[in-house]
Chains A and B, each alone.
Chain A
């Protein structure tokens, strides 16, 4: 196909292959005249720019020359690294050889001479020129009289000769350097003789001549690839052939290429494809041969003119230029195409070019030549019959889904000679680039499948690269362990042991726990001391019978000493007076006003709940030291303030406080709040800390968000980092809730999809599938799922095939309309054979394709979509939830609403009793169910380890006076009076194991259990229980794990009448938070006996206990002098009732009964010291909750008795 054309009568030279852009140099031809009869000569350089669709070539530079040229070559020599420059060498008709610098010609610089070398060595017209393909400075030229010179462009003045001149002297029409061997040169004469020179030997080594003598050699070329082969073209009309010679058989031509009908003027052999040899001849044709087969494979559509010069473009192998005697230089492509686009303006352009040339100065425009363009109009020019080598792609590599790489390669050499068929193979390879990612992914997958999360986390901790990373893994690990809350605290730097040591140091005395936690004896002693001190302190207040919990364990010293009640008008006096008239409020105000906070608090304890609260508030509002906020929060259970306003540097402390105190209901939220604040700082450090908070709270979504905001999570390893943590956290939650966790978080879904995408790209298709979020209607995810499914081939058989495509109906076009096939036949395999509506409609992944799908009436809509794999059970809703109660279990919700009753108290409680809300009894909301009998935790929760149901008999439990410090937490004494005190966080704590492993009996410890936060996962032991599930532990699945002697409490069936007969454990004082005024409860208790109905008899063998203790109390009452003691004894009389109730119910263990009898014997013998010792033993070896209702009062009574000496 013709691409460019210009009116010139010239010899042509393409710029060398390395030259960019492509230029064509034209030197005015000798012995030819164009239509203008112009006799001037010029060297012109044109740029061949194919981005310009026109036939124009842009003239880049022009140099007038004195001589017309017979030959011209463009040499690499002197070419810049940028692929420009080189040298143009022209051989003129008068024997002058001139070297030009094409850059100077193109830049038209005046300061530089475009002619860089000139020689007149040749005596006649230089028709032959060729440059050495290996050494671009070597140029061969041939002229008349057998003259051949070898020029070194570095030393242009003295050319060499290849050897002695051949005789007889002939014109040299062609010289040609061998393409393989650099010192081999061939020359040819019009006579048809060719001589091959060896420049090392400086002599001709072979002469080729066919003996027909009709060979008129116009061209000679070496084979581009075969060193010994060359072709000779004959200009003689009688022998218009191309002979192909092989020097190994130099007697006759190897092949003769016959097709031209008249003499051949020019030949050119494509360096890009040896199977392409061009020839132009006087028959006006330009043919392209395959010299190997001697067949014409192409004929260029040329003008009806001789072409005296054809040349392949060295750079663009599809291009050739042809110079014709009608004065045109034409650039053709052998790739075919249409001429339409270029023809429009051709005629005008040609005409206009003549306009400018007006050679005779007549001002008259020559009539345009009859260029034969009409024949080309609308012509489709076909390409070469056989595609040239340069379009035959020999190699390829394509990626496919799943990180597969498809490659193929073809042998370099054409397999012509090879008898063996070449194996035509395609390789399918797996590309894995993320080795570490895959390794870690495999580890994660293994851990997830085997369930060995602990080991996994441990390994992660060991290999953690940074402390922050280690921290996170430690926290994640803790989630899989028991006692997570304690361990969280430890991780935060609040070690129980360390604390003990520090406290010991601070107190200057030993403060140690035994292995079981608190030594009951030790504690009892300490409490006693404490109480004593307190009582001493309280002496000033002279309250008339305040019964603080501490009193149960205390002596009342100074019982007998006299004192004076001040009634003066100073503060003391006023306080006294206020107290005497029972004006607690006034007294407290006075105390506060006077800065006597201790007294104020003590008084307010007696003054009732409201007063206590108020006093606390006032006190705390006045205290502005650093710990007051903490105290305030502890007292008021206001953790929100802590998390919302603590210094962020104190995040550890805040988190510790939450872990210690926070109500499980709120724990997660509070953790999140804290985490949110940390995250808001947007520093990496804070975000990692926030992550720890989220791990504690089990908030996967926030964890992901926070992590993604700070850490690189777009790289595979970054993503792996995140996914590892998320999966572990998720597993821990699943373990805890015993169900799969679906986190409906867009960002997590995004990250997991991304993760699955990377896995898929690395070839882990099956694994990728497991991470892909389920039940999503995100088209991207559904598509990936579909793709993963199908890509796994038969490996995935058995899975439900997701068919998420909205299949478009693309029917097969039949050749003729008449042959239109029945529609059913046209359906693709994806098209439904049944109406599409059979499939449940699902959101389609692919948007409907209106055009293709609806074209054929009568076909079912193509929008059937199979459900994406919905095989997995629906997920539970997101994280904090309240699932339906387990079967057989009544949904009491002890932790959400205080119930106006004391559950588990004596059965004497009855509906008509004074309505007593929990708020009356305790400052912080009391959790009614905290008095679950049998020492059961108030909120058994799913996943409670079996050990938590061990009978509690072996637990050391001393008589522990409830602390009068309200809410003072002793978090390191977990499992203390668990039903005591503010009882903040335990309500729905996952489990409250009372097993022997648990430290017990923190003095006055609030019912803080260092048990797992909601994020904590005990081992899954039961099905489908959520965090706030009702205590299904008492239900069936767990029953077998409950020891025989454990009496399951009956469900609480009504808010008031909640006292099952079997509920054995009177817990009254346990209900009373320390610091709560005792008076109301005492009054209440006093009323209780009246309400009692239908008591069982105490077994006869235990009647002796009742009689002994009753009589002891009576004796003491008679002997007691001071009202406080009297009050205590009154109380004792009532409280012993709990003991008798237990006796009636026969619910006391053997151990306790024996102890009681022993105590009874001691009392009978008035050996109170011994009795107290036995008492201590019993307490320390028993389940505290079993005895807490009566043992303390027994001690009080014995102590009083001892003191009174009754």
Chain B
């Protein structure tokens, strides 16, 4: 079942483009074409406007919450080519950092896993991806991958920082040597994987399957299995699930989840990584789950936050 437990009236004056809950699911951040970012306290079914963040000069595309160990930090990106990092101090939200290094609309922001520190990836229509790393003392280190996607990067998503094969992270005594990786999707119809080597970001993989803009990518949370999974969706209506079983991360296999009749805007993995929410044109939201035999099936059509959930049967064909 998908049942509405809270309807937040955002009072945005234009289209909402993103809505994200914080780590605990107690605060909701929204952003809109009205150039504002709003934060609501939604605990216990309430909706208290905590902050109305103004600073962008164009539509705000995405918001992203940092892990709470760094405090209450929110990043937003906008068509105004800016990335703003907001921080709450003593209950009030202020700009913590404003990044203006992109030459076109910044379409996507995503915080890296907390294990990597406070690091933000930003994908822009200028084709570049910026990586902002907090180095302390109000300083942010900026690394930029120019021309990551020739005519624009639409989405970035970090790989989980999990040592392959272990469910539970290594003891905190020694810091595991994580390899920082993320995935991006762009107007060149490509899904690209990036890896940091010796402090430099390098293109690791180039995944080709989409025939139009890749609208969103989502690297699935680790569920303790050595398999890495990425979902990508595209203007061409296709959603692909990419999986990689080899530890080196070199062989990625695409599986077509579904071909929709309209652009697919967004994919989002559940926290446990077993359900994929796909939102597309026609305001359609569908939920997908992998069956025991490894096939993906649509388990729910969500409309206005509501929907039934069907169980997966082997015979079920997913018609859209």
Contact = CB atoms under 8 A, between A and B. Distances in A.
Q: Is A bound to B?
A: yes
Interface of A: 1, 3, 20-21, 50-53, 83, 315-316, 318-319, 333, 335-338, 340-341, 380-383, 387, 390-410, 412, 421, 423-433, 435, 715, 750, 754, 757-758, 760-761, 778-781, 787, 790-791, 793-795, 805-808, 810-815, 820, 825-831, 843-849, 851-856
B211 to A, nearest CB: 4
Interface of B: 1-21, 23-26, 28, 30, 32-33, 42-44, 58-59, 61, 68-73, 79, 81, 87-91, 94-97, 103-105, 107, 114-115, 117-118, 125-128, 133-140, 146-147, 149-152, 167-169, 171-172, 175, 187-190, 206, 211-213, 235-236, 263, 265-266, 268-272, 274-275, 277-285, 287, 289, 292, 299-300, 302, 304-306, 309, 311
A383 B79 contact: yes
A175 to B, nearest CB: 29
A787 B25 CA distance: 9
Closest 4 CB pairs of A and B: A855-B136, A427-B305, A400-B21, A793-B43
B114 A846 contact: yes
B188 to A, nearest CB: 4
Contacts of B271: 399-403, 760-761
B119 to A, nearest CB: 10
A423 to B, nearest CB: 6
A791 B289 CA distance: 24
Contact of B42 (A319, A383, A428, A433): A428
Given A391-B107, A425-B9, 13 more contacts: A337-B104, A387-B79, A401-B271, A402-B25, A425-B8, A426-B16, A427-B8, A427-B304, A810-B134, A812-B138, A813-B138, A847-B175, A849-B70
A813 B137 CA distance: 8
A315 B275 CA distance: 31
Residue of B73, B133, B271 ringed by the most chain A CB atoms within 10 A:
B271
Given A761-B272, A854-B136, A405 B302 contact: yes
B42 A852 contact: no
A924 B266 CA distance: 75
B105 to A, nearest CB: 6
A750 B166 CA distance: 11
Given A21-B211, A849-B117, A396 B270 contact: no
A856 B136 contact: yes
A760 B25 CA distance: 12
Nearest to A856: B137
B70 A852 contact: yes
Contacts of B187: 50, 316, 318, 335
Contact of A779 (B125, B137, B168): B168
**Interface centre among A21, A52, A829, A852, by most B CB within 10 Å?**
A852
B169 A851 contact: no
A315 B70 CA distance: 43
Contact of A794 (B5, B44, B126, B171): B44
Given A3-B150, A779-B168, A825-B90, A394 B283 contact: yes
A855 B135 contact: yes
A787 to B, nearest CB: 6
Contact of B2 (A20, A341, A431, A845): A431
A9 B19 CA distance: 49
Given A393-B266, A425-B7, A810 B118 contact: yes
Nearest to B289: A433
A519 B192 CA distance: 85
A569 to B, nearest CB: 80
B91 to A, nearest CB: 8
A401 B23 contact: yes
A822 to B, nearest CB: 12
24 contacts: A21-B211, A335-B104, A338-B103, A382-B103, A393-B15, A393-B18, A399-B275, A400-B21, A401-B21, A406-B21, A407-B304, A424-B16, A426-B7, A426-B30, A427-B304, A428-B42, A432-B1, A432-B309, A433-B275, A433-B309, A750-B168, A810-B87, A829-B72, A852-B118
A1 B58 CA distance: 19
Counting chain B CB atoms within 10 Å of each CB, the highest count among A387, A435, A754, A831 belongs to A387
B26 A392 contact: no
B103 A380 contact: yes
B133 A851 contact: yes
Contacts of A393: 15, 17-18, 61, 265-266
Contact of B147 (A53, A319, A408): A53
Contacts of A846: 69, 114-115, 172
Contacts of B16: 396, 408, 410, 424, 426
Contacts of A787: 23-24
Contacts of B300: 431, 433
Contacts of A427: 4, 6-8, 304-306
A395 B280 contact: yes
Nearest to B299: A433
Looking at B17, B103, B115, B285, the one whose CB has the most chain A CB atoms below 10 A away is B103
A749 to B, nearest CB: 9
B27 to A, nearest CB: 10
Given A432-B309, A846-B114, A847-B175, A811 B137 contact: yes
B211 A20 contact: yes
B211 A335 contact: no
A56 to B, nearest CB: 12
A52 B5 CA distance: 48
A1 to B, nearest CB: 8
B11 A424 contact: yes
A829 B281 contact: no
B283 A851 contact: no
Contact of A849 (B69, B128, B140): B69
Nearest to B169: A779
B152 A318 contact: yes
B88 to A, nearest CB: 7
A795 B46 CA distance: 13
Given A387-B105, A856-B137, A424 B125 contact: no
B305 A428 contact: yes
B266 A395 contact: yes
Given A52-B150, A335-B151, A761 B9 contact: no
With most chain A CB atoms within 10 A of its CB, the pick from B15, B90, B94, B189 is: B15
Contacts of B279: 395-397, 407
Given A428-B8, A432-B1, A779-B172, A805 B68 contact: yes
B12 A398 contact: no
A397 B3 CA distance: 14
Nearest to A433: B309
Contacts of A814: 138
B28 A426 contact: yes
Contacts of B58: 387
Contacts of B171: 779, 843
B305 A828 contact: no
Given A423-B9, A429-B302, A828-B71, A780 B103 contact: no
Contact of B305 (A340, A341, A429): A429
Contacts of B14: 424
Contact of A828 (B87, B105, B115): B87
B79 to A, nearest CB: 5
Contacts of A391: 61, 79, 105, 107, 125
B125 A336 contact: yes
B30 A793 contact: no
Contact of B272 (A406, A430, A757, A847): A757
B103 to A, nearest CB: 4
A761 B138 contact: no
B31 to A, nearest CB: 10
A913 to B, nearest CB: 62
Contact of A397 (B43, B70, B96, B277): B277
A1026 to B, nearest CB: 31
A380 B125 CA distance: 12
A806 B115 CA distance: 11
B126 A338 contact: yes
Contact of A429 (B4, B17, B32, B44): B4
